[in-house]
Amino acid sequence: MIFAFKRVALRFAAALFIATGITLPLSAQNQPLSLFPSQAPEEEAVGTGVTAAPLAPSQDEPAAGFSGVEVDRLSELAVNDVGILGPTDGGFAPDVWQGSQKDLIVHLMARVEGALASSTWRDMVERLLLSTATAPNLVEPGANGTSSTRGASDFLALRVAALMEIGSPGRVLELLDHVPRSAQTEGVVRAKIEALLVNQAYVDACRVIRQEFLAFHANPFWARALIFCQIRDGEVDQALLGLDLLREGGDGDPFFAMLAFYLAGGAAGEEEIAGIDALHLAIVRLTGFPVSDAFVAEAPAYLWRALVFSAEMKLEDRLWLGERAAAAGLILPEDLTRLYSEVPFSLESSSAILSIEPENVGVRERALMVQAAHKETLDIARAEILARLLHSAQGAGRYRAVLGTVLGLLEQLAPRSDLAWFAPIAAQAFAVENQFERAQSWLALRDRVQVSNPDQRAAGSFASIMQLNGLPNSADAPNLDSPNLSARARAAISALGDGGDSLWADIATGRAEHDLESVDASWVLALRGAASSKRLGETILMAAALMNGRDLRELGALEIDALISSLVAFEYGHEARLFATDLLLNAPLSAGAG
């Protein structure tokens, strides 16, 4: 199949050369032949009849397109070490990879797939990949006592691929601005192109595509990318010829072929989606092509932010993805608030949502609750809405993301006797946000009025979060060593050294339920080993691999203990408490839930 496509690709290049009708002046006939223009037209394409809407600004993505800045004199090893963060601006020390074997790091980086459910750990991974640091064990002993350097720039390529996987295309562009083109492998250049397409920098993306096509044309991506640029630039005949050649070569992306035909002015069709990338998204944005739920569901994390703000997507899909992206730290609370505001709102809908059973509240209802809370002027009514909203968010594993959309409203509520019932809810919210003075004022109201919560799960969550943040609990709060709290909750507390010391004895004697049978002990032990040996880079990647593709509520007590203990081992106490708090908010906490 590969050799067949190479033959078709060569025919593709030759046919396009003929179709373009390029002729050379006599003075240039002895010079190397250039089949494609070195630069794409600076003006927007003529003939597409569409104008792309600007993407909402991101904390991750630069507002401008690819700048093309390059550093010309970097050795091969220096290229692998290059980063944009140092110890004084959020990065890790240059020796972050010290002691780790390259083969293991390569394996771990390949397991980084998708934005992590924990924004704390995702931030750690991003900082690691962007740090200026000596790459692990790149120099190997060669024959006869010589040494050799393995893999030109391959460590850089691994880092770039992992950054795209966790949803950081803007940071990829920032990083590659510091890397000379000669050190950028095919995978790196492709990531640059996809990052540019996500950022709607189509002119820059097509310039790179045309420049690099001949070097990398054996990969079907490059043929598809060139076809996209040709259609966008009005070269429809050449593009349609390319599409025919792709089909002849058995290209495995009929969905792209259908989209490209539609972009060229053809009729829309239906094709099964077999993977989504930035080319698909670019065509959907430019044409407004209606996509199915599968398009959003299968999109990689580097497309999430763009999809959330793409009007071409169904609002229900964008709401679902928006909460997920906010939980992962890919969009800001104000972004989620703006997204929520797109749900049509009426006074009737405001009244209706308060009568919905808590277990039936979904993302659309949460959007309406946020709008209702912002519009409500009576404190008691606003508190009732906020209570239901945060209860729903906690049950859905989206507490911190949703809390950010209403934190300002919570700050406007003053602790007073008619809101005493709301005191535990407000205190927990402010504790989560590290606003301890506000949390303590609500705690004082709760204790003064002697508010109690019969819901053991809520009481356990509340008491645990208060303890994590060093805030007092009332006398009737659950004992954190009690088997009434789940093993997950007690593991988080124990790993921080805040109590729960009898956890493992309770599990061993059957006094506490657990899910240890579902844990892959090898990963837990490997994570502990990396942390105890102070191999920070390896530890972070081990943690990411352990959580890969999993909801926080799926983590078991042993895994939670290892993840938090590894942060504590490197004295990242703040990050450890953030992660522990998210676990307590989003994991089943009552006894019998594991």
Query: pTM for the whole thing?
Result: 0.83
Give the per-residue pLDDT at 64. Answer: 42
Rounded Cα–Cα distance for residues 549 and 113 (Å): 7
Asked if residues 333 and 326 have their Cβ atoms less than 8 Å apart, the reply is yes
Give the per-residue pLDDT at 451. Answer: 66
3-state secondary structure 366-417: HHHHHHHHHHCCCHHHHHHHHHHHHHHHHHCCCHHHHHHHHHHHHHHCCCCH
- Dig out the tokens for 172 from the structure: 């990829």
Single-letter amino acid code for the residue at 512:
A
Place of tokens 């509340």: 462
The values of phi and psi at residue 140, to 5°, are -120, 150
Among 444, 433, 424, 365, residue whose Cα is nearest residue 403: 433
Give the per-residue pLDDT at 387. Answer: 93
- Dig out the tokens for 564 from the structure: 């938090």
Give the per-residue pLDDT at 298. Answer: 87
Give the per-residue pLDDT at 486. Answer: 73
Angle at 303 between CA 297 and CA 305, to 5 degrees: 100
User: Cα 563 vs. chain centroid, distance in angstroms?
Assistant: 19
- DSSP per-residue string spanning 116-184: -S-HHHHHHHHHHHHB--PPTT-EEE-GGG-EEE-STTHHHHHHHHHHHHTT-HHHHHHHHTTS-GGG-
Rounded Cα–Cα distance for residues 330 and 333 (Å): 10
Tens digits of pLDDT across the chain (594 residues): 444 444 445 555 555 544 444 333 333 344 443 334 444 444 443 333 333 333 344 444 444 444 444 444 455 558 889 999 999 999 999 999 999 998 999 999 999 988 898 999 999 999 999 999 999 875 454 444 444 444 445 899 999 999 999 999 999 999 999 999 888 999 999 999 999 999 999 999 999 999 999 999 888 899 999 999 999 999 999 999 999 988 887 777 889 999 999 999 998 887 778 789 999 999 999 999 988 888 888 899 999 999 999 988 899 999 999 999 999 999 999 999 999 999 999 877 767 777 887 777 899 999 999 999 999 999 999 999 999 999 999 888 899 999 999 999 999 999 999 999 999 899 999 999 989 899 999 988 988 887 665 444 455 567 777 777 777 665 445 455 555 567 787 888 889 886 666 777 877 887 777 767 778 889 999 999 999 999 999 999 999 999 988 888 888 889 999 999 999 999 999 999 999 999 888 754 333 333
